[in-house]
Structure 1
Amino acid sequence: MDALVPFAAREPKTRLATVLEPDERVEFARTMLRDVCSAIDATDASPTVLSTDPIDSEWPVVVDDRPLTAAVNDRLDPPVAVVMADLALATPDALSRLFGAEGEVVIAPGLGGGTNALVVREPDFHTDYHGASVADHRRIASEVGVEATAVDSFRLAVDIDEPEDLAELLLHGSGESVEWLRSAGFELSTPDGRVTVRRQAR
């Protein structure tokens, strides 16, 4: 199965701007992309990076600077998977469970209502990544006559988007992205009993 990995190469991870400088965000985003592609590569699927700009990668790269929905839909040739590039907690086991799940449309929901990963086997299905996309994708599946299957996976539900997400990565991650954060001085902190991160002075 082909697996598209959309990647915003231009000014990535803007919501991490309070904790990372622009060049750090680029480096961190590309490190997470490598972790995701490596995890996919360890399954029966083959990753292709769908990037907004040319990038160096050991995996095939297709450049498309259109909005996410249009770029993905133009390449939605079933059977195909779509896996977001910031799922740094993803493991080959979690992805294999997604790829192997039965159903014409299989969804791995994100914690905030997004769609973190998809498997599409129905040729009439299309994506819509605006707003609460997981609800939209269930609706679109119903409109084309199939029922979307949900895969309940913590490792696929957590996308690394906000500063608080870095704590989840430090707690549960095991790839290059974790090592990058640690080398950048990030560590877990528990003020008032709540787990968060802090950055050591460098």
Structure 2
Amino acid sequence: MQVLVPFAAETPKTRLASVLSDRERSRFARTMLADVLAAIREAGHEPTVVATAPLAADGDPPIPDVPVTVDERPLTEAVDARLPAATDDPVAVIMADLALATPAALERLFAPDADVVIAPGRGGGTNALVVSHPDFRVDYHGASYRDHRRIAREVDATVETVDSFRLGTDVDEPADLVEVLLHGEGRAPSLLREFGFELATDDGRVAVTRSSAP
């Protein structure tokens, strides 16, 4: 099985700009990527990063020794170009911002015997999927989970949905940092604490505060 990890190497995580500086966003995005790659390897697979630009080998944090392919096309086109033809092995696509991903959660994704296996994200997105049907193609625009189920029906592919809190939590908005601090098991929560983030429950709901400005 090929395991692809798309990564937006340029201007990553722009929706976190209100709480993280440009440099911090880059470090945080690379740290989440490193955590996802480590979880994939611990689950028994070798990942390939599909990046929108070259990744500096001396970046912070360093990216593990994995193949990196540069593809400047939008996500849908870059993934479609790598999905299986009739004789190819299955292809898994795991997003790079799944900071809560663990080997056990990924093993649940890899286990089902279906033509298309989908781990949906919040809000209708697709955070991870495994494709073995030669006619299936992706569409990451809009409510992609719904669209991927429709596309699977159109090509007579069997579908299984993996209901996973860890794979369903992608980190895009400042509120998502709560989940990283509460449930993260990799380096991402440690980096947030280094930046000065901590949990706060003053209003009866869990939020994050920061001891210093970005």
Q: TM-score range by the shorter chain?
A: over 0.9
| 1:147 aligned to which of 148, 158, 183 | 158
> Residues of 1 paired with 2:29 and 2:19: CA distance?
14
Contiguous gaps of at least 5 residues in structure 2: 58-62
- 1:96 lines up with 2:103 in the alignment: no
> For residues 108 and 185 of structure 2, what CA distance do their matches in structure 1 show?
19
Select between 51-60 and 157-166 the one with higher mean Cα deviation. 51-60
Select the residue among 48, 53, 77 that pairs with 1:70: 77
TM-score (norm 1): 0.98
Tell me the alpha carbon deviations over residues 1-36 of structure 1, each in whole angstroms, 9 at most, x when there is no partner: 211000000000000000000111001000000000
Which aligned runs of 4 or more in structure 1 are off by greater than 2 angstroms?
A: none
Matched-pair identity in %: 62
Please state how far the C-alpha of 1:151 moved relative to its aligned partner. Answer: 0.3
**2:98 partner amino acid:** L
Aligned to 1:199: 210
| Cα shift readout 1:83-136 (whole Å, capped 9, x = no counterpart) | 000001000000011011121000000011100000001011000000000000
Unaligned ranges ≥5, structure 1:
none
Q: Report the TM-score, using the length of structure 2 for normalisation.
A: 0.92
Distance (Å, rounded) in 2 between the aligned partners of 1:163 and 1:148: 32
Query: Which residue is equivalent to 1:9?
Result: 9
Q: Number of residues paired by the alignment? A: 202
- Aligned match of 2:60: none
3-state secondary structure, aligned to 1:192: coil
Aligned alpha-carbon RMSD (Å): 1.0
> For 1:80 and 1:111, how far apart are their aligned partners in 2?
23
